[in-house]
Amino acid sequence: MKLGVINVSDRASAGFYEDLPGKAAVALLEEWVTTPFETAYAVIPDEQSQIEAQLRQFADVENCALILTTGGTGPAVRDVTPEATETVCQKMLPGFGELMRATSLKYVPTAILSRQTAGIRRNALIVNLPGKPKAIRECLEAVFPAIPYCIDLIEGPFIEVDSSKIKIFRPSSP
Amino acid sequence: MKLGVINVSDRASAGFYEDLPGKAAVALLEEWVTTPFETAYAVIPDEQSQIEAQLRQFADVENCALILTTGGTGPAVRDVTPEATETVCQKMLPGFGELMRATSLKYVPTAILSRQTAGIRRNALIVNLPGKPKAIRECLEAVFPAIPYCIDLIEGPFIEVDSSKIKIFRPSSP
Amino acid sequence: MKLGVINVSDRASAGFYEDLPGKAAVALLEEWVTTPFETAYAVIPDEQSQIEAQLRQFADVENCALILTTGGTGPAVRDVTPEATETVCQKMLPGFGELMRATSLKYVPTAILSRQTAGIRRNALIVNLPGKPKAIRECLEAVFPAIPYCIDLIEGPFIEVDSSKIKIFRPSSP
């Protein structure tokens, strides 16, 4: 099984910032997921065509079951991660963005500025996360309980977790 | 007045499953709505063109004021009910999907996987419901209070209900 | 600094109704915003091309940092403010509509019928509000705390408010 993490950031990809958001996302997967997995990892600038190419590469060539992006979801002109995600996905899952924004709203009123979303490309689930490690954890904790079952439904690998760290949910009858 | 129910399910339309979701939706309408109505009813497979044709038939030919679909709203490749709904609607009503997912989230974390939505085609309101009878009731109870007034606004029939069974709401001044 | 308010209403623009929604929106800006500003103001009918032209005029020619619309967000055939908004915006911000509907739901179940949204055109934030003064206040109070920071992110003017009237939020590190 392969899981992908793409840190989308002009400044991190140019080496001005350390790649903390991407590392935070990988650390959460390593903390929670007990099924053995490899990580596909990239740090790229906020260029829509480059984000799309990286998502296609991780979904179609690397066969990642799950691809997490960090950053690039705000209203600024360089924030284009949701547009790239929507372009490469066959199906969008609006409930992810709704729940992540509702969760972040408990902490900051500016949560409504996030355009983060999720969608399906072939057998990969793509989920946009924010750019700050604290918000990455808050958002991924909120939606992760539904992720393994989502990946079952799109015929990806069966993902198991350490239930002392995070609870996931699979309906008993399909 | 005519109300439509379309059960979208490969297995029910092939006769492998009993048509419980469609029957559950009809039973709720019969329990709540006191205005006399006929039911237009169909069980069809998860084929986007067939769902679109059925929605058009119920809206344009049968003149249904309300069309409920059940099933086909998840992330799997055969789940295409929201796509069909969006194709035939002139206006989408995102608040229905948001409230139904928020309601289902009280019961199951996988509620965010539902892509169910609602929209307007001519004088018909189309609402996607989940595929399980228990979830159908939870979702329809959440949004039904707004449905009769919505149908007033799109110039459909005036719908009255048994207020001991469900409360509806019409703002006093339009 | 210039802020725009567009009251979209067939009846107000024809002079049958007093322009209360537009005036209510202006009154809230005057109550809250302490940075000196001029108001660009218009009352126009529910015609999509006219709404689009007015939004472009206020964003591109008048250089409004924020444009509030009132009315035209429901399911009726003449309600086209969200369509006009989506047409002229480069980026949509779904979190605004989600939060405004969730807020209105505390008062009326018919809140889910509102299709109000928000988006970015160049350096202007456009936010759709409902048509009733009471609902305008409820919705704008809910989303306004995020508006000054949003306008920072799209490189508009720095907006300050009377914090005894409304609290706004700017994250400490960008």
SS3 per residue for B127-164: EEECCCHHHHHHHHHHHHHHHHHHHHHCCCCCCCECCC
Asked if A169 and B77 come within 8 Å (Cβ–Cβ), the reply is no
User: What's the CA gap between A113 and B170, in Å, rounded?
Assistant: 32
| pLDDT (0 to 100) of residue B174 | 47
Q: In Å, what is the CA distance from C93 to each residue of A17, A80, A119, A148?
A: 27, 12, 17, 28
Query: CB of C105 within 8 A of CB of C113?
Result: no
Calculate how close chain A gets to B95, using CA atoms only, in Å.
11
| pLDDT (0 to 100) of residue B173 | 56
Please state, as a whole number, how many other Cβ atoms lie within 10 Å of the Cβ of residue C53.
Answer: 14
Asked if A75 and C95 come within 8 Å (Cβ–Cβ), the reply is no
Answer whether residue A17 shows pLDDT above 90: no
Answer whether residue C174 shows pLDDT above 50: no
User: What's the CA gap between B68 and B39, in Å, rounded?
Assistant: 11
Compute the mean pLDDT over every residue in chain B, rounded to the nearest whole number: 96
User: What's the CA gap between B130 and B125, in Å, rounded?
Assistant: 17
Q: Give the mean model confidence (pLDDT) for residues B3-22.
A: 93
Asked if A75 and C145 come within 8 Å (Cβ–Cβ), the reply is no
DSSP SS3 for A81 = helix
What letter would DSSP give residue A161? B
Answer whether residue B154 shows pLDDT above 70: yes
Assess C166–A contact: CB distance below 8 Å, yes or no: no
Cβ contacts of C125 on chain A, cutoff 8 Å: 75
Asked if C95 and A113 come within 8 Å (Cβ–Cβ), the reply is yes
Assess B174–C contact: CB distance below 8 Å, yes or no: no
- Of B86, B47, B113, the residue nearest A120 (C-alpha): B113
Least CB–CB distance from B111: residue in A95, A153, A168? A95
Per-window interface: C 51-110 vs B, CB < 8 A: 74-77, 79, 94, 97-98, 101-102, 105, 108-110
Chains in contact with chain A (at least 3 beta-carbon pairs closer than 8 A): B, C
Least CB–CB distance from C171: residue in A77, A101, A110? A110
Cβ contacts of B93 on chain C, cutoff 8 Å: 75, 112-113, 115
| pLDDT (0 to 100) of residue A147 | 98
User: What's the CA gap between B123 and C152, in Å, rounded?
Assistant: 43
User: What's the CA gap between A92 and A85, in Å, rounded?
Assistant: 9
Q: Give the mean model confidence (pLDDT) for residues A113-135.
A: 97
User: What's the CA gap between A89 and A86, in Å, rounded?
Assistant: 5
Cβ contacts of B75 on chain A, cutoff 8 Å: 91, 93, 120, 125, 150, 153-154
Which residue from A minimizes the CA distance to C99?
A112
Which residue from A minimizes the CA distance to B105?
A99
Cβ contacts of B150 on chain C, cutoff 8 Å: 75, 110, 113
- Of A9, A57, A29, A32, the residue nearest A162 (C-alpha): A32
Answer whether residue B35 shows pLDDT above 80: yes
Chains in contact with chain C (at least 3 beta-carbon pairs closer than 8 A): A, B
Compute the mean pLDDT over every residue in chain C, rounded to the nearest whole number: 96
Asked if A93 and B110 come within 8 Å (Cβ–Cβ), the reply is no
| pLDDT (0 to 100) of residue B172 | 80
Q: Which of A150, A166, A167 to mutate to test the interface with B (most CBs of B within 10 A)?
A: A150
Which residue from B minimizes the CA distance to A126?
B75
Q: Which domains does chain B have, with CATH numbers?
A: 2-153 (3.40.980.10)
Asked if C113 and B93 come within 8 Å (Cβ–Cβ), the reply is yes
User: What's the CA gap between C53 and C57, in Å, rounded?
Assistant: 6
Q: Give the mean model confidence (pLDDT) for residues A18-42.
A: 97
Q: Give the mean model confidence (pLDDT) for residues A38-54.
A: 98
| pLDDT (0 to 100) of residue C173 | 56
ipTM over 0.90: yes
Asked if C113 and B153 come within 8 Å (Cβ–Cβ), the reply is yes
Q: Of the given ranges (A156-170, C9-23, C97-111), which has the lowest mean pLDDT?
A: C9-23
Strand order in the sheet with C2-8: C38-44, C2-8, C66-70, C124-129, C118-121, C91-92
- Per-residue buried b or exposed e for A57-77, using 16+ beta carbons within 10 Å of the residue's own CB: bbbeeebbbbbbbbbbbbbbe
Burial class of A140 by CB neighbour count within 10 A (0 to 12, 13 to 18, 19+): buried
In the block, residue with structure tokens 């019969």: B30
Which residue from C minimizes the CA distance to B124?
C75
Calculate how close chain C gets to A159, using CA atoms only, in Å.
30
* pLDDT tens sequence across B113-145: 999 999 999 999 999 999 999 999 999 999 999
Answer whether residue A172 shows pLDDT above 90: no
| pLDDT (0 to 100) of residue B102 | 98
Assess B111–A contact: CB distance below 8 Å, yes or no: yes
| pLDDT (0 to 100) of residue B123 | 97
Give the Cα-Cα-Cα angle A73, A79, A85 (nearest 5 degrees). Answer: 60
Q: Give the mean model confidence (pLDDT) for residues A82-107.
A: 98
Asked if A112 and C171 come within 8 Å (Cβ–Cβ), the reply is no
Assess A121–C contact: CB distance below 8 Å, yes or no: no
* pLDDT tens sequence across B52-97: 999 999 999 999 999 999 999 999 999 999 999 999 999 999 999 9
A174 pLDDT tier (thresholds 50, 70, 90): very low
Cβ contacts of A79 on chain C, cutoff 8 Å: 91
Number of residue pairs across A and C with CB atoms under 8 Å? 59
Strand order in the sheet with B2-8: B38-44, B2-8, B66-70, B124-129, B118-121, B91-92
Calculate how close chain C gets to A78, using CA atoms only, in Å.
10
Q: Give the mean model confidence (pLDDT) for residues C85-97.
A: 98
Q: Give the mean model confidence (pLDDT) for residues B101-111.
A: 98
Which residue from A minimizes the CA distance to C93?
A115
Which residue from B minimizes the CA distance to A149?
B110
User: What's the CA gap between C66 and C147, in Å, rounded?
Assistant: 8
| pLDDT (0 to 100) of residue A173 | 56
User: What's the CA gap between A72 and A115, in Å, rounded?
Assistant: 9
Tokens of B41: 């009813």
Number of residue pairs across A and B with CB atoms under 8 Å? 58
